Amino acid sequence: MKDSILIKISNERINKLYNEALKCSDMDLSRRYITLMESIAKRMDITLERRIKLSYCKKCKTPYNNFNMRIKNGVINIKCNYCGNIRRLPVRD
């Protein structure tokens, strides 16, 4: 199937962009990388890995480098330092 090659290339690009976004100290550039990564995934209909999806703010696309994390009543609250958006995740055991 020719599509599997496209998906393989897309996954490589996604990983590359993700790694660059984490390494990069320029937040504007990081956000750009994440946005690009999401658009590739969307176009190719690829579901991003959970570890990737959980590592950046869904609202402003800033990677959570030094986020505020709190656990309260079995829910993890992650607050984005850039836009202040709070993400709530149930604690998984």
Residues of this chain that interact with Zn ion (CB under 5 A) are: 57, 59-60, 62, 80, 82-83, 85
Instruction: Please state the closest distance from residue 68 (CB atom) to Zn ion, in A.
Output: 12
Instruction: Please state the closest distance from residue 10 (CB atom) to Zn ion, in A.
Output: 25
Q: Where are the alpha helices (H) located in the chain, listed in sequence order?
A: 2-23, 27-44, 50-53
Q: Which is nearer to Zn ion, 44 or 78 (CB)?
A: 78
Are 60 and 91 in contact by the 8 Å Cβ rule? The answer is: no
Compute the distance between CA of residue 91 and CA of residue 65 in angstroms, rounded to an integer.
20
Instruction: Please state the closest distance from residue 44 (CB atom) to Zn ion, in A.
Output: 25
